Amino acid sequence: MVPDWETNLVYFSRLLAERHPALFCQVSRVLEEHRVPVRFLEGTADIWIRDYAPVQTATNRFIKFRYDPDYLRGCEDQITGDEICGQLQELGQINRSDLVVDGGNMVAARTKVILTEKVFRENRKWKRTAVKKCLQEAVHNRTQIILPMEPFDPIIGHSDGLVRFLGDNRVVVNDYSKVDPRYGRRLERVLTKHRLAIHRLPYRPDRKSRRRIPPATGNYVNFLRVGNLVIVPAHGIPEDGQAARVLQELLPKATIVSLECKDIAREGGCWNCVSWAVKV
């Protein structure tokens, strides 16, 4: 797999610039200052490009999973189809998979990928063993790490809201000690089983929201990383500064930028969700 610290180009949906011009102006300015080129996907149905874009498995090689999430049943007009691949031909070979997998549910290092159990729920017509085998083929025999879904996110269930790789054998996770310590222990047991060093980021989810799609307010692991630049979500709460400091300590050679994203967080995602970083 191509980890985000090896990427050097960022795509956004054109809709992000249209629907959230101030936020897009901020993030594009940061990327420009750090000489990261930006491109757009046109004609998408929503701003969450991470989920419907292909997954990069190697330089010039990608896998396009089926984008047919259960949380958009009855809202098919919000599903971006495979036609976007026609805009990406210059990047290399894009293979197809019959598995339903959102890109936000695939967190990758060079030799490992992390998903949640949502992958089984969205491919119920297949046995679990068949899903794992198909995944194994799609990601070229990388180690699969399957995490339990977060109890208060039963709808989206993506791994990029729970955990991110800092290196091939290090991860950062939400700190569940005050939110749901039992779930936090379950999560970390799985990661420890795969010999991953675990670090924690502050986590202050908005559990009062009555929205069908849970907001991502208070989430910091959903950062955008491209090369040595890390753009950390900021929510206008005291934990913003703490999250940036922790990441700077964990990644001393990286440039950490804390960037406000309250509007998109209320809709259910942060900077990783609205971006797609690739290596060219």
Q: What is the pLDDT of residues 101-146, one digit of tens each?
A: 999 999 999 999 999 999 999 999 999 999 999 999 999 889 999 9
Predicted pLDDT of residue 141: 84
Query: What is the total count of domains within the chain?
Result: 1
Q: What is the pLDDT of residues 84-93, one digit of tens each?
A: 999 999 999 9
Q: What is the pLDDT of residues 212-271, one digit of tens each?
A: 788 999 999 999 999 999 999 999 999 999 999 999 999 999 999 999 999 999 999 999
Cβ within 8 Å of residue 47, ≥6 positions away: 12, 13, 15, 16, 19, 20, 264, 267, 274
- Report the CATH number that the domain containing residue 238 is assigned in CATH: 3.75.10.10
* Average pLDDT of the chain to the nearest whole number: 95
| Distances 28 to 25, 202, 236, 275 between C-alpha atoms, Å | 5, 26, 20, 11
Q: Which domain holds residue 191?
A: 4-278
Residue 80 has pLDDT above 90, yes or no: yes
CB 80 within 8 A of CB 44: yes
Tokens for 8, please give them: 């050097």
Burial class (CB in 10 A: 0-12, 13-18, 19+), 167: middle
Q: What is the pLDDT of residues 168-209, one digit of tens each?
A: 999 999 999 999 999 999 999 999 999 999 999 999 998 766
Query: Which residue, 261, 267, 270, 229, is CA-closest to 248?
Result: 229
Predicted pLDDT of residue 210: 57
Tokens for 57, please give them: 């498995």
